Amino acid sequence: MKFSCEKHILQAAVAVCARAAAAKSPIPTLEGVLLEAGERLRVTGYDLKKGIYTTVEADVSEPGSIVLDAKLFGEMVRRMPDGMVTISSDEDNKTTVKCGKTEFSFMGMDSGEYPELPSVDGIRSYKINQGVLKSMINQTMFAISDNDSRPVYTGSLFEVEAGTLAMVSVDGYRLAIRREHIEGPEEHNEFIVPGTALSDIERISASDSEEDTNIFVGANHVSFTVGSTVVISRRLEGDFLNYRKAMPDTFKIHIKVGRGELLKVVDRVALIIDEKTKNPVRMTFNDNFIDCLCNTPIGKAEDVCTCEGSGDELLRRQLAAALSLRCLAGTSSPLYTGMYADGLIRSLWNEADWGPCAAYAVLGGESPEPERVLARLSEAVAKVAAEGFEPDAFERCRRAEYGMRIRALGQAAGLADSLARSAFAGTDCLRGFELLPQLTAEECAAFVSEHLAPERLALAVVQPEPRKDM
């Protein structure tokens, strides 16, 4: 075998195909790349799970084939000077690689021992723009799992139906999905492609290419033809997550934010995240801004990102605070009726507000034993945290809260108070009537558990001044 090929062409071909060569294998040839010189030069890498081959122009003077160690050969070509690289091998597999005055001689391996790549029977075939596919992989691959205990999630689901391709990746924490038009059979079809294969396809695809990538789906394998390069991979088997059921039908937050600005804000805040503890970046969505906060053993970081639309988070917190206190300590609550029956309280009222700069939740009233009231309150909070609110009681409190807010709008003082609070908080008081029915018992129970926890409670007692005899 003897052929010549431009260094940069050969280097690119070997670099791509070497990605499919095995790092270590009981079959030595799998650690190499197969060179087949005919009308053109074909370079192949294969590790029994994934195969990549590409065809490039070459000046072939003696047809033949040889297997060369992928790592060694790749480094040889990379370090060659620019120009034509000439490769030749004899019947004993002795191989010479020469470019200019640089020359290497070493032993190759018999191509007859190289396994044959699997054929893809092409049960179904599809076409999609190369640049679009590259973008889809780039935007979903981050959510592919690296946990081999569940192999099905180490790849992405390709779901084709009615001319649309949905590419889905999930790792147990994140779910990424993107949909694009695809040419091919209209009937439903789905298959799972390993992440390693997708990474190779993303690398060899060009973002600005107008060419199509051809996808052939067989019973056990799938192949992607990108220009003159073909990637063949085993399909992953198993039941993939029903992503439609995993995604909520409705969302309580709808905003539009500049991608670049959000990335910069998150990048700054995440600077203090410890790799071991993986502290989260908490986002609070308010009207026209997102507050990003992160607390770690290293310190605290906070930044703000502007946005369009209303996250309703602040108003939702206000409503949850008011409704939670009504459910916990309203006049019909077990806490109120129990303490009243035991003579611990003569009266009990509650008030809560959740503004952009300050927030509070207050229970007040008359009691001969305020310490016992605090103890009973702590018990009630612990019970709600463990068991939640009783559904029927929660719904009664929700209706009562709704009615109270309606009545307040019919009074000048109540209307003025609602408008003033909304103005200072940057919210819409009328929006509360849309959000209140959306609040759940679980959401309010979580509010009680978090914000009325024993370590957050404080007791203030006002003692009456002793009466002086006249």
Q: Domain limits of the chain?
A: 2-113, 124-246, 259-306, 313-456
Q: Report the distance separating Cα 63 and Cα 3, nearest Å.
A: 8
pLDDT at residue 411, as a whole number: 83
As to burial, measured by CB atoms within 10 angstroms (0-12 exposed, 13-18 middle, 19+ buried), residue 141 is middle
pLDDT at residue 76, as a whole number: 95
pLDDT in tens, 401-456: 888 888 888 888 878 887 787 776 666 677 778 888 888 899 899 888 888 888 88
Considering the segment(s) 313-456 as one domain, its CATH architecture is 2-Layer Sandwich (3.30)
pLDDT at residue 9, as a whole number: 96
255 contacts 79 by C-beta, under 8 angstroms = no
**Parts of the chain with a pLDDT under 70:** 122, 250-252, 287, 309-312, 355-357, 424-428, 467-470
Domains 124-246 and 313-456 share a fold: no
DSSP-assigned beta bridge partners for residue 179: 166
pLDDT at residue 128, as a whole number: 97
Pick among 3.20.20.140, 3.40.50.1370, 2.50.20.10, 3.10.150.10: CATH of 2-113: 3.10.150.10
DSSP-assigned beta bridge partners for residue 290: 285, 305
Q: Report the distance separating Cα 316 and Cα 284, nearest Å.
A: 11
Q: Report the distance separating Cα 173 and Cα 441, nearest Å.
A: 25
154 contacts 147 by C-beta, under 8 angstroms = yes
pLDDT at residue 255, as a whole number: 81
In which order are the strands placed within the sheet that holds 289-295?
282-286, 289-295, 300-306
Q: Report the distance separating Cα 354 and Cα 424, nearest Å.
A: 11
As to burial, measured by CB atoms within 10 angstroms (0-12 exposed, 13-18 middle, 19+ buried), residue 203 is middle
Diameter of the chain measured on Cα atoms: 127
Nearest to 246, CA basis, from 298, 172, 305: 172
pLDDT at residue 355, as a whole number: 65
Any residues with CB less than 8 A from the CB of 400 and at least 6 apart, and which?
326, 330
193 contacts 234 by C-beta, under 8 angstroms = no
pTM for this prediction? 0.66
> What's the topology of domain 124-246?
DNA Polymerase III; Chain A, domain 2 (3.10.150)
Q: Report the distance separating Cα 53 and Cα 16, nearest Å.
A: 8
